[in-house]
Amino acid sequence: MSALKGVKVLELGTLIAGPFASRMLGEFGASVIKVETPHGPDGTGGGDPIRSWRHLHEGNSLWWTVQARNKQSIALNLKDPRGRDIARRLALDADVVVENYRPGVLEKWGLGYEQLREVNPALIMVRLSGYGQTGPLRDSPGFGAIAESMGGLRYVSGHPDRPPVRVGISIGDSIAALHAVIGALMALRHRDTTGGRWNGKQGADCVAGQGQMVDVALYESVFNLMESLVPEYDVAGVVRERTGGALPGIVPSNTYTTRDGQNVVIAGNGDAIFNRLMRAIGRDDLADDPQLARNDGRARRADEIDGAIQRWCDTRSIDQALEALRRADVPVGKIYSVADMFADPQFIARGMIEQHRFPDGTPVKLPAVVPRLSETPGGTRWLGPRLGEHTEDVLKTLGYDAAAIAELAEAGAIGIPPPA
């Protein structure tokens, strides 16, 4: 049994934020139909642009393998009224539509939320965009990098004497996707407590639940994670700045370098933990100093404490440092590369790296599905599909016969891949 079994999701979007949101819904059992642009007349182009990003296998991105797992791909030309009609029929049969077009695009195609809810009042539409569906910037193009900048994350990332840096992944898009999933699940809960999904008719014996629009702005999703940024500025006039690997005002919590050039994060900021840490590194004097018994006192002497810890790390290898601090029950961790993850006993014990195979038999490892649910766990049912791989199957569920499908393909309204 899957947590979202029976939930139908239509994905109208490309790249990261929207597709990541529907990916998570699909990982926990929702049926996800992803609409993609067909190949052009010359057989090139088409599909979600992420298919060609970073490293490829057999013409598709390895990223695509993860981002589109468990999804059905249907190739529709939404510039063709017949393609839009198919998308509309799919949307009206869906529980959730996830889209990340620029605001107004779906309305031009007759697929906007207000247009669809007139027919399906129980529909939930999750809309992801750079700046949301309202406001002076609603029509501006918005990418995750811009959201990270406007939402405050870039400003506080990096070292104080250098320009801001980006996190090494598309974190702004992914944060927005997580907010989208949360919003979708809350909206589904509300719909189900007010009547349930729409079955095509209304009446005394059939009351559709109340659907709604979930408006996710990328910059607001990032902003939502910025901890005490706002009240610190409002009440204390403090602008949080870049601080490198340290956590200002919470001491000690920093990144240190061991004798063999490895980076280790040590978080000894709890009062009892600080005491154990100082004794583990041979600094009983600091452990016994009453001025350092509480965090506020340690914050005033952060440089002194960090210096003591770094000098200890200078004389230890990464393995020696980890062993000594874990033995003292101090939170400590090496900064992992993906190679470290593949070899780590904790990753292995938790099954965090899944083994799969491409259709050609080539083995491929993927990250496991999280979070872990004890009774209805998620999983990978199949890898990211070929462009339009499920077009015919989906159209048949809508009542199209072989002749009608062939006619739509000939006219360029849909795309059907050649046999595998």
| Ramachandran area for residue 110 (φ above 0: left; ψ -120 to 50: alpha; else beta) | left
- Residue 291 near residue 301, CB atoms below 8 Å: yes
Report helix angle 271-280 to 318-327, nearest 10: 130
Report cis status (omega within 30 of 0) of the bond before 252. yes
How distant is the alpha carbon of residue 230 from its chain centre? Answer: 25
Buried b (16+ CB within 10 A) or exposed e, 163-178: eeebeeebbbbbbbbb
Instruction: Return the CA Rg of the chain.
Output: 26
- Residue 245 near residue 253, CB atoms below 8 Å: no
How distant is the alpha carbon of residue 85 from its chain centre? Answer: 30
| Residue type at position 95 | D
- Residue 126 near residue 204, CB atoms below 8 Å: no
Candidates 48, 93, 173, 215; catalytic one: 173
Secondary structure of residue 360 in the 3-state scheme: coil
Q: Confirm whether 260 is a catalytic residue.
A: no
Cα–Cα dist 90/382, whole Å: 22
- Of 154, 106, 104, nearest to 131 by C-alpha is 104
Residues 6 or more apart from 276 whose CB is under 8 A from it?
Answer: 268, 328, 329, 330
At which residue do the structure tokens 């699909």 appear? 26
As annotated, the active-site residues are: 173
